[in-house]
């Protein structure tokens, strides 16, 4: 059999290679959606002229701000926010919803559908009842209650909070750490405390919204470098340092390079080694967000540093969240003792926000103990090996079937490109019909053109689960015609896969 | 010639658009050229006017018609030719190109070499050292610190729900069923039925059409404000609002005017200013007044009746943070609107943290269906963060149910608050600086100096009180916080405190204050 040549490709601003015919049909589809939406808005404006907002007030939501929601999102909103009635583990009970007004509003029904879960960030399988964690969580719940109802500095610090901070520091390999009640707030309050006016934040183009908001909130100047491209980072750094601040040309006070371990919408691993080298060369500080990589990759789950053999001492601020691998909530930063001491005296989330829920703290402690083998079993190591094996198995299987799978080997996040807006709901609904719950991602989480579905692997998925997942995805992929690269797994991928095996 | 001028002009404009550092030089040059042309033009006109006079003064040889190469050269023709030549010379002259000032690679290398950044964080000083009490048991009315039982006056569990068996039961069941974390944002299978139940529960309780649940209190207002206010919109905010609101205001990029803390006269003055500006040109932008029901930073209560009058008169919307009033104010704990007997619909957006009276975690925003549904795609902290752990939503549901079924909790809270207020008002050396219904009692020094000086004295009081077995807390200010209100000791009153506890707090505080003020 001959291997089909991939289509001629067109590169867009992010370096994605979109096949020409796909790009054209996608633009065309959005064009039609836009025209129809505008027509509908036109009628809407005629119809509702009676019930405008109270006189003298501007409308709460501007029409154009809402256009996307009204005319695009609402049509397919049944693919998002699907409520579930069980723990978010490998199989979930998805509550069925119906709409009586062509998808404007959805109503829950009594029915649930048991689905294979390919959406949750449950990398290590700590989302559901766990023989080691759950009893301890319940015990802490009994002892401390659900919340301490006070900020960390006032009366919100319990023994458990301090224990977790020490454990996290030890785990990530930094002298000290502090925990927050939410991952998003960790980023959005830490960055403003680290840098302000006269500073420069150089941020990866695809960084998470919490980083973007934290950077904006800091008042520092923000520059962006091409996603995961150390050479462009170097270019930006050279230009920034040699030119200094805009207009005054004063030298920058400090420069922080902000990157992520695994990019959650790309499934890509950070090229940490090269980026660290560049940043060190130009004396910039590194802020590494390990939300998706901590606990998910690396031989003992210590994240991207361990996987790529980078000494954590090279990273100035290590940030991560507990919402993913650890099946809890909250976030942490780890760094030097002084840094943490300073942050504890400056971070608004530490000083004003309700401290992290105590049972959630216990959940992270127990999960970390399992990962580190402190529970006296090898479950942690097995989980880590399992999630890696599952990820690589499914990634290869999907690639072999011709899907355009983004991301790197070993990453448990696997985006599969859909592109066409019509394929977003089609893919999601058809999978749901076949009892597979997938996540489809569209604007605003991705650029308009690059809609995708995202498969997240978990250690709790069994081989049967995976085979079923691949079977259903392949079937639906055939239907939706999203196998953009019908070809065999290329040789070097296989090679890479064996290479990695050998390394261990 | 005009064409040439035009070309030069275009060149200049292009340079300006490119934001060239040397535009101004190009601009100057252009202006010089224009001036030269103008001067030449004027002198030409004058020459034509006063030809005879001028010509009379010139030597004959020039003026008399000469014949050069068979062409008759008239006097003024000669001058005009000269003029044209001059202009052409000026215009054709090599345009001023800024010397190519791009740095060479070696220069850049040197600059990079020379640049020394500031350290990542400032030098650690003693006042960054924070003494944090470490709790060894639940944060109930009594707790254990350093193995010692203390009366806990620093937990915002206003209704005394920590340790409540019903809440515990609800949490236990939820942990068994759903696990701890939601493992995904609300959009992607992070929504559990309990989240939706809680949203409905709190909306029903407040009497609003709908509500939305955030996974952390701090991230609620920082997301809600930018979801509704963008560049070009106008916000009038109290200058004592908490950091979370400040952050939301900053991120919104709207125009923000601050009015004096809880001062409706000043608010009115600001509103008048706005009205005056409107006379010139009234943009149809969104306008909000942003306040807190009971201020986290001062314990003051906003005069809602006055505020609602103003808001309606000047056509503003209101965003009000009810973190310290839901479950506290009103006969049934429905917050400030109930207290003032004002319809809840008048408050366009209500936010609250769940870490206070509801004894859980997370944040809520409630209001009209439009307010809520807009946030489901635009609330940054809602879309881009994992959902609240389901057991905390269950705790919230249980808390609301308990509040609905046990009105005596509220009356006990109200009784305790008034008891503490009346007791503490007689302690010498301090002054109560908050509304008498505030569950957080703010104690300021009677003779107040700066924030830092007050803090150090009050910190001594707090430390000594802890030795006496009473946990109080002190106002702390992050360096990111713009609030300028004075330092205070915060005494947080809950329904769980017994009368003896509260009396003990007063008598101990009296002793400690006497001790501290003496030295
Ligand atoms: C890179 C990154 N940082 C931070 C967060 C926010 O974490 P949390 O969900 O705990 O708020 C996420 C989660 O989506 C993330 O992907």
Search chain B and give the residue with CA nearest A163.
B134
pLDDT at A337: 92
CA distance A44 to B134: 59
Does A142 fall in a domain? yes
Q: What is the ipTM of this complex?
A: 0.89
Number of Cβ within 10 Å of residue B85's Cβ equals: 10
The residue from B45, B75, B92 where one domain ends is: B92
Chain B within 8 Å of A61 (Cβ-Cβ)? yes
pLDDT at A56: 73
pLDDT band of B67, cuts 50, 70, 90: low
pLDDT band of A17, cuts 50, 70, 90: low
Are residues A203 and A327 both part of a single domain? yes
Q: Tens digits of per-residue pLDDT, A376-396?
A: 889 999 999 999 999 999 999
Are residues B275 and B179 both part of a single domain? yes
B300 class by beta-carbon count within 10 Å (0-12 exposed, 13-18 middle, 19+ buried): buried
Ligand 1, atom 15: closest residue by C-alpha = A291
The residue from A345, A371, A397 where one domain ends is: A371
Are residues A385 and A362 both part of a single domain? no
pLDDT at A279: 93
Does A31 fall in a domain? no
Are residues A207 and A294 both part of a single domain? yes
Does A393 fall in a domain? yes
Are residues A289 and A221 both part of a single domain? yes
Please, what is the end-to-end C-alpha distance for chain B in angstroms? 88
Average pLDDT taken over every residue of chain A: 86
Are residues B307 and B369 both part of a single domain? yes
Are the Cβ atoms of A445 and B383 closer than 8 angstroms? yes
Are residues A347 and A439 both part of a single domain? no
Q: Tell me the β-bridge partners of B294.
A: B301
The residue from B362, B388, B405 where one domain ends is: B405
3-state class of A376 per DSSP? coil
pLDDT of A500 higher than 50: no
Q: Determine how β-strand A107-117 pairs with β-strand A176-180.
A: unpaired
pLDDT band of B277, cuts 50, 70, 90: confident
The interface residues of chain B toward chain A in range 163-182, judged by CB-CB distance below 8 A, are 163, 167-168, 171-172, 175-182
Q: Are A487 and A5 in contact (CB under 8 A)?
A: no
Are residues A264 and A411 both part of a single domain? no
pLDDT band of B22, cuts 50, 70, 90: very low
Chain A within 8 Å of B215 (Cβ-Cβ)? yes
- Residues in chain A with CB shorter than 8 Å from the CB of B162 are 145-149
Are residues B311 and B268 both part of a single domain? yes
Are residues B184 and B315 both part of a single domain? yes
The residue from B405, B438, B469 where one domain ends is: B405
- Token pair 């019930």: residue: A51
Average pLDDT over residues A299-309: 91
Q: Whose CA is closest to A416, among A296, A267, A293, A269?
A: A267
pLDDT of A164 higher than 80: yes
**Which one of B129, B183, B218 has the shortest CB-CB distance to A127?**
B183
Are the Cβ atoms of A134 and B391 closer than 8 angstroms? no
Are residues B363 and B504 both part of a single domain? no
Average pLDDT over residues A32-38: 88
The residue from A343, A371, A399 where one domain ends is: A371
Structural domain harbouring B188: 165-405
pLDDT at A182: 93
Are the Cβ atoms of A328 and B192 closer than 8 angstroms? no
**Which two structure tokens, joined as six digits, stand for A114?**
């048991």
Chain A within 8 Å of B415 (Cβ-Cβ)? no
Which residues touch B412 (CB under 8 Å, ≥6 apart)? B495
Q: Tens digits of per-residue pLDDT, A88-127?
A: 999 999 999 998 988 888 898 888 999 999 999 999 999 9
Q: What is the DSSP letter of A12?
A: -
Are residues B40 and B170 both part of a single domain? no
Q: What is the dihedral of CA A37, A43, A46, A47, to 10 degrees?
A: -110
Chain B within 8 Å of A74 (Cβ-Cβ)? no
Are residues B413 and B498 both part of a single domain? yes
Average pLDDT taken over every residue of chain B: 85
Are residues A361 and A464 both part of a single domain? no
Does A348 fall in a domain? yes
Are the Cβ atoms of B139 and A338 closer than 8 angstroms? no
Are residues B239 and B352 both part of a single domain? yes
Are residues B148 and B170 both part of a single domain? no
**Which one of B124, B135, B181 has the shortest CB-CB distance to A328?**
B181
Does A165 fall in a domain? yes
pLDDT at B5: 54
**Residue A164 Cα to ligand 1 middle (Å):** 19
pLDDT at A11: 39
CATH number of the domain residue B216 falls in:
3.40.640.10
The interface residues of chain B toward chain A in range 361-390, judged by CB-CB distance below 8 A, are 361, 370-371, 373-374, 376-378, 380-381, 383-386, 388-389
Are residues A336 and A393 both part of a single domain? no
Are residues B321 and B427 both part of a single domain? no
Q: Tens digits of per-residue pLDDT, B461-488?
A: 999 999 999 999 999 888 889 888 999 9
Lowest pLDDT segment from A19-33, A225-239, A353-367, B30-44: B30-44
Report the Cα B473 to chain-centroid distance in Å: 25
The residue from A321, A353, A371 where one domain ends is: A371
Which residues touch A430 (CB under 8 Å, ≥6 apart)? A476, A479, A480
Which residues touch B287 (CB under 8 Å, ≥6 apart)? A57, A58, B233, B234, B235, B236, B274, B314, B315, B316, B317
Are the Cβ atoms of A444 and B377 closer than 8 angstroms? yes
Number of Cβ within 10 Å of residue A329's Cβ equals: 32
Does B448 fall in a domain? yes
pTM: 0.85
The interface residues of chain B toward chain A in range 274-333, judged by CB-CB distance below 8 A, are 284-287, 296, 315, 317
Q: Tens digits of per-residue pLDDT, B300-319?
A: 999 999 999 999 999 999 99
Tell me what percent of the residues of chain A surpass a pLDDT of 90: 61
Does A7 fall in a domain? no
Average pLDDT over residues A268-289: 93
Q: Tell me the β-bridge partners of B211.
A: B366
**Which two structure tokens, joined as six digits, stand for A172?**
């990530």
Number of domains in chain A: 2
Rounded to the nearest angstrom, the minimum Cα separation between A454 and chain B is 10
**Residue B241 Cα to ligand 1 middle (Å):** 27
Helix (H) or strand (E) holding A388: helix A379-400
Lowest pLDDT segment from A150-159, B69-78, B274-283: B69-78
CATH number of the domain residue A443 falls in:
3.90.1150.10
Are the Cβ atoms of A95 and B139 closer than 8 angstroms? no
**Which one of B121, B163, B377 has the shortest CB-CB distance to A338?**
B121
Are residues B47 and B188 both part of a single domain? no
pLDDT: is B134 or A492 the higher one? Answer: B134
Structural domain harbouring A416: 74-117+381-503
Average pLDDT over residues A134-149: 93
Q: Tens digits of per-residue pLDDT, B399-432?
A: 999 999 999 999 999 999 999 999 998 888 889 9
pLDDT of B362 higher than 50: yes
pLDDT at A485: 73
Q: For residue B316, report the phi and psi dihedrals to the nearest 5 degrees.
A: -110, 160
């Amino acid at each position: 059999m001959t291997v089909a040549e991939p289509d001629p490709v067109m590169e867009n601003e992010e370096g994605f290679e979109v096949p020409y015919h796909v790009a054209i049909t996608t633009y065309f589809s959005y064009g039609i959606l836009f025209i129809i939406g505008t027509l509908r808005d036109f009628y809407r404006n005629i119809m509702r002229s009676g019930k405008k907002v109270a006189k003298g007030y501007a409308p709460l939501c501007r029409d154009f701000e809402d256009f996307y929601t009204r005319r695009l999102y609402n049509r397919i909103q049944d693919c998002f926010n699907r409520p579930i009635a069980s723990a978010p583990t490998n199989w979930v009970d998805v509550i069925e919803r119906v709409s009586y007004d062509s998808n404007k509003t959805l109503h829950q029904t009594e029915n649930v559908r048991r689905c294979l879960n390919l959406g949750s960030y449950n990398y290590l399988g700590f989302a559901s009842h766990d023989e080691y964690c759950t009893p301890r969580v319940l015990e802490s719940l009994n002892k401390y209650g659900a919340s301490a109802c006070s900020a960390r500095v006032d009366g919100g610090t319990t023994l458990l909070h301090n224990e977790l901070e020490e454990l996290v520091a030890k785990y990530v390999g930094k002298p000290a750490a502090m925990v927050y009640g939410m991952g998003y707030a960790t980023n959005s309050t830490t960055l403003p405390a680290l840098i302000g006016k006269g500073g420069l934040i150089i941020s990866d183009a695809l960084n998470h919204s919490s980083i973007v908001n934290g950077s904006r909130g800091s008042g520092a100047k923000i520059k962006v470098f091409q996603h995961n491209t150390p050479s462009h980072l170097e270019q930006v750094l050279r230009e920034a340092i040699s030119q200094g601040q805009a207009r005054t040309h004063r030298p920058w006070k400090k420069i922080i390079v902000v990157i992520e371990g695994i990019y959650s919408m790309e499934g890509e691993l950070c090229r940490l080694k090269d980026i660290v080298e560049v940043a060190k060369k130009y004396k910039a500080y590194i802020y590494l967000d390990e939300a998706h990589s901590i606990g998910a990759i690396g031989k003992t789950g210590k994240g991207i540093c361990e996987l790529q053999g980078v000494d954590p001492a090279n990273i100035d601020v290590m940030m991560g969240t507990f919402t993913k691998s650890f099946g809890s909530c909250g976030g942490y930063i780890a760094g030097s003792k002084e840094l943490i001491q300073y942050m504890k005296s400056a971070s608004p989330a530490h000083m004003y926000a309700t401290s992290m829920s105590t049972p959630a703290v216990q959940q992270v402690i127990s999960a970390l103990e399992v990962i580190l083998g402190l529970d006296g079993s090898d479950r942690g190591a097995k989980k880590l090996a399992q999630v890696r094996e599952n990820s690589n198995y499914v990634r290869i299987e999907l690639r072999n079937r011709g899907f355009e799978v983004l991301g790197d080997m070993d990453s448990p996040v696997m985006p599969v490109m859909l592109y066409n807006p019509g394929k977003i709901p089609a893919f999601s609904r058809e999978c749901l019909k076949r009892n597979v719950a997938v996540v489809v991602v569209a604007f605003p989480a991705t650029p308009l053109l690059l809609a995708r579905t995202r498969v997240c692997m978990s250690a709790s998925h069994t081989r049967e689960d995976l085979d079923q997942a691949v079977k259903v995805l392949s079937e639906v992929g055939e239907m939706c015609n999203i196998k953009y690269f019908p070809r065999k797994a290329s040789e070097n991928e296989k090679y890479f896969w064996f290479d990695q095996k050998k390394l261990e | 010639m005009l064409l040439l001028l035009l070309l030069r002009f275009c060149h200049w404009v292009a340079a300006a658009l490119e934001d060239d550092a040397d535009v101004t030089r190009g601009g100057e040059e252009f202006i010089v050229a224009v001036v030269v042309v103008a001067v030449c033009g004027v002198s030409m006109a004058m020459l034509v006017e006063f030809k005879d006079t001028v010509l009379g003064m010139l030597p004959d040889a020039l003026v008399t018609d000469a014949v050069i190469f068979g062409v008759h050269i008239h006097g003024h023709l000669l001058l005009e030719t000269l003029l044209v030549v001059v202009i052409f010379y000026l215009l054709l002259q090599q345009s001023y190109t800024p010397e190519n000032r791009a740095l060479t690679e070696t220069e850049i290398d040197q600059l990079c070499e020379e640049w020394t950044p500031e350290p990542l964080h400032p030098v650690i000083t003693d006042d960054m050292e924070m003494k944090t009490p470490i709790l060894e048991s639940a944060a109930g009315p009594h707790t254990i610190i350093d193995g010692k039982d203390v009366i806990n006056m620093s937990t915002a569990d206003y209704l005394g729900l920590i340790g409540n068996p019903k809440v515990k039961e609800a949490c236990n069941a939820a942990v068994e069923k759903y696990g701890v974390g939601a493992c995904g944002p609300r959009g992607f299978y992070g929504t559990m039925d309990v989240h939706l139940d809680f949203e409905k529960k709190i909306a029903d309780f407040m009497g609003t059409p709908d509500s939305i649940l955030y996974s952390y209190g701090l991230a609620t207002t920082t997301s809600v404000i930018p979801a509704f206010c963008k560049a070009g919109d106008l916000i009038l905010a109290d200058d004592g609002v908490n950091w979370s609101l400040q952050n939301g205001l900053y991120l919104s990029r709207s125009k923000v005017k601050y009015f004096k803390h809880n001062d409706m006269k000043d608010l009115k003055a600001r509103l008048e200013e706005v009205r005056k500006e409107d006379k010139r040109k009234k943009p149809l932008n969104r306008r909000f007044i942003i306040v807190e029901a009971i201020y986290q930073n001062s314990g003051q209560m906003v005069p809602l009746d006055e505020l609602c009058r103003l808001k309606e008169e000047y056509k503003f919307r209101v965003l009000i943070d009810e973190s310290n009033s839901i479950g506290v104010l009103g006969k049934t704990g429905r917050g400030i609107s109930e207290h003032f007997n004002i319809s809840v619909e008048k408050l366009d957006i209500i936010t609250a943290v769940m870490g206070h009276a509801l004894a859980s975690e997370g944040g809520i925003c409630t209001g009209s269906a439009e307010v809520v549904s807009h946030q489901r795609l635009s609330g940054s902290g809602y879309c881009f963060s994992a959902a609240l752990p389901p057991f905390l939503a269950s705790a919230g549901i249980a808390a609301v149910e308990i509040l609905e079924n046990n009105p005596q909790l509220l009356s006990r809270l109200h009784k305790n608050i008034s008891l503490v207020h009346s007791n503490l008002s007689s302690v010498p050396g301090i002054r109560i600086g908050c509304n008498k219904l505030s569950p957080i009692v703010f104690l300021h020094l009677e003779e107040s100096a700066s924030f830092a000086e007050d803090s150090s004295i009050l910190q001594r009081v707090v430390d000594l009180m802890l030795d006496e077995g009473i946990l109080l807390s002190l106002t702390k200010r992050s360096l990111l916080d713009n609030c300028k209100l004075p330092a205070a000791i915060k005494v947080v009153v809950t329904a769980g405190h017994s009368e003896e506890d509260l009396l003990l707090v007063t008598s101990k505080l009296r002793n400690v204050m006497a001790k501290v003020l003496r030295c």
